[in-house]
Structure 1
């Protein structure tokens, strides 16, 4: 069993009933479990220094994002946003979650982008940033979910079938 999932020693400590009252063992266990689960639900573990890491995928693209408190700069594979995505459409697509939650100038985004093309990478980056914002503050979840930024686009390239030229394109038909 790993250390991160081990129960705390307080979970095994006996619960002392108040003088003059009697409680059963199951009642004591259920109250201890209830207090531990509510504490776990309200607080989420954070990495040191406020660093938030998430992953986004779209088509063949995989993006790992680190959100760090800063001034709003982007470092995508060591390059700036304008250099990595020259298209204004892709730049706007990537910035949408930050603009929607009004956090555009409060975080620096460091991303490692692999695979796919520019549109797939931009979509994967948007998903990863949205997931990081939810990790930061759960109050952003309804807003981002309504805008569709937390939904993983499952569409992918259909595989080529034998006997066909592409996934669905049949060879030219000759009557004679």
Structure 2
């Protein structure tokens, strides 16, 4: 019986690179996804926890501001800059607001990463650990999936408000889950 040389048995497969190679001589960046790749996504994003939290809580309302019961003229004072934690679904006011509840939420966790958040008004995704804006094109597809889910949720909520006639008559209720 004849034994083949190990190098001739199977041709060596080319290894796949995780990122497409970018030719250095091309000036056009039309087809190249530009953005920051975050290492925290696999540990700081939980689609199931976010979906559960969205179904159980008021939409686009800072949970902590609501607990503090801030009111003006009988209406709840609700910051417009609400960010959603992509680990647990916590909704908090942004770091430019007076209370900075989303930032405080991130800092309060020591055992789990709650560092990736999304703005519910602009759909910007941010990682507190990296201190960078994230792109759905340069990161795992879980980010694109969660953005798609959230945008569909907003669309359904707005449609329900329009159907019952609350979209224009009571603007404050647009922020709430119906």
TM-score scaled by length of structure 1? 0.26
Normalized per residue, the structure richer in helix is 1
Q: Looking at CA atoms only, which structure, 1 or 2, has the larger radius of gyration? A: 1
